[in-house]
């Protein structure tokens, strides 16, 4: 997608073909500096500190982290160490495990001397696939928006609520939840996106709003608590969010607060869609109860960073010194609250049967 009119992806290689370049997303919406990942430890830190974030991008950067590691040391021990270090960075997004298992399964049987080249090729393949998959999610999800648009008066926008950032900066390109939105916008369908601010890290206010603005998609940032009110007022036609892990039964983990939006949507008969690449399905988990929920530092809740009128970036405390802050980063929305899952192979009910109808090869898993 675009920044200042120029097409960009969220991860690419430097001219040496080995240094990994990506954006530091922690400075958005005020800045988006490029950072260079030169060592395994750089990739691990970028994921843990959330300089890069979003389930598919975490997987892509982890794959490149393995490539950086085997470049420095292609031994069996180093490969195992690299996968262990990267796997420990963030617990909820299963794309991390998926990417590491894919890299390890490819590289471990190879002689060490061949590992570097193959690792870079595989990480690049993961990125290319991610772009194609997200584009396909967009095409599969587009008819859901078109169907609402057909019921509208000319020029009246389809009003879509999204939570967190499941946009192109959370993937390699297109995003998951945003891919149908971008395709609809490019087709000339009138849209208006309600962007949940997404406390405590404000991925909606800082990242999704930035992305939509760069693409010219009309949007309004709303307080996290506003969604239910908007739904009751009939101001939301559909919700679409991303996910970090989907269990076999269709339960979905996503950014904290997603569950509350799904409850409000259910109560107001607003369709609630979850968009995902198949790498986000955890076929080993029967239901969402087994999804590990990341708990992050309470400081993320207590401190707010923003730009002052004279252009300085400042961080201020908004809670009393001494008050404890709890910071659960994700929640699980039960499948019964999800209208449908939107995948690269099509739209299906949020259930094991629904998922298997699109991915029958997983029946044996």
Strand partners, 240: 273
Q: Is 319 helix (H, G, I), strand (E, B) or coil?
A: coil
Rg of the chain (C-alpha set): 20
Query: By CB under 6 A, which span of 73-81, 166-174, 263-271, 317-325 interacts with ligand MRU?
Result: 166-174
Q: How many chain residues interact with ligand MRU (CB under 6 A)?
A: 18
Q: How far is the CB of 351 from ligand MRU (least distance, A)?
A: 20
Q: Could you write out the DSSP letters of every residue in 33-100?
A: -EEEE-SHHHHHHHHHTTSS-SHHHHHHHHHHHHHHHHHH--SHHHHHHHHHHHHTS-SS-HHHHHHH
Residue 234 or 292 having the CB closest to ligand MRU: 292
Tell whether residue 53 is a contact of ligand MRU (CB under 6 A): yes
Return the residue of 68, 85, 126, 166 that touches ligand MRU, per CB under 6 A.
166
Site mask for ligand MRU (CB under 6 A), range 172-211, x = bound: ---xx--------------------------x--------
Which residues make Cβ contacts (< 8 Å) with residue 54, sequence separation at least 6? 93, 165, 166, 167, 169, 170, 171, 242
Q: How far is the CB of 294 from ligand MRU (least distance, A)?
A: 7
The whole-angstrom separation of Cα 336 and Cα 205 is 28
Task: Give the containing element (helix H, strand E) for 342.
Answer: strand 340-343
Residue 270 or 276 having the CB closest to ligand MRU: 276
Which residues make Cβ contacts (< 8 Å) with residue 49, sequence separation at least 6? 26
Q: How far is the CB of 23 from ligand MRU (least distance, A)?
A: 13
Mind telling me the catalytic residues?
A: 244
Residue 60 or 83 having the CB closest to ligand MRU: 60
Tell whether residue 171 is a contact of ligand MRU (CB under 6 A): yes
Q: How far is the CB of 91 from ligand MRU (least distance, A)?
A: 11
């Amino acid at each position: 997608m675009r920044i200042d009119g120029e097409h960009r992806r969220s991860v690419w290689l430097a001219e040496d073909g080995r240094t990994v370049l990506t954006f530091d997303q922690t400075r958005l919406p005020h800045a988006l500096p490029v950072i260079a990942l030169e060592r395994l430890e750089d990739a691990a830190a970028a994921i843990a500190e959330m300089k890069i974030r979003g389930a598919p991008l975490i997987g892509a950067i982890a794959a490149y982290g393995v490539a950086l590691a085997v470049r420095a040391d292609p031994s069996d021990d180093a490969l195992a160490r690299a996968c262990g270090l990267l796997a420990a960075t963030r617990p909820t997004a299963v794309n991390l495990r998926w990417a590491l298992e894919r890299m390890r399964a490819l590289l471990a049987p190879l002689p060490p001397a061949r590992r570097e080249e193959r690792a870079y090729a595989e990480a690049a393949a993961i990125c290319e696939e991610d772009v194609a998959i997200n584009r396909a999610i967009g095409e599969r999800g587009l008819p859901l928006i078109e169907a609402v648009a057909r019921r509208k008066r000319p020029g009246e926008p389809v009003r879509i609520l999204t939570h967190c950032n499941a946009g192109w900066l959370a993937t390699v390109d297109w995003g998951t939840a945003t891919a149908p939105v971008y395709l609809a916008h490019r087709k000339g369908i009138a849209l208006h996106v309600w962007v949940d601010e997404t406390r405590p890290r404000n991925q909606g206010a800082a990242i999704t709003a930035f992305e939509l603005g760069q693409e010219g998609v009309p949007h309004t940032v709303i307080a996290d608590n506003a969604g239910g009110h908007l739904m009751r007022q009939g101001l939301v036609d559909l919700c679409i969010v991303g996910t970090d892990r989907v269990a076999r039964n269709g339960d979905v983990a996503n950014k904290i607060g997603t569950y509350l939006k799904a409850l409000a949507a259910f109560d107001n008969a607003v369709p609630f869609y979850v968009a995902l690449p198949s790498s986000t399905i955890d076929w080993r988990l029967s239901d969402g109860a087994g999804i590990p929920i990341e708990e992050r530092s309470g400081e993320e809740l207590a401190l707010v960073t923003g730009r002052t009128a004279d252009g300085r970036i400042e961080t201020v405390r908004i809670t009393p010194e001494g008050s404890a802050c709890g910071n659960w980063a994700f929640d699980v929305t039960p499948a019964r609250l999800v209208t449908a899952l939107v995948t690269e192979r099509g739209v299906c009910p949020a259930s094991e049967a629904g998922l298997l109808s699109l991915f029958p090869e997983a029946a044996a898993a």
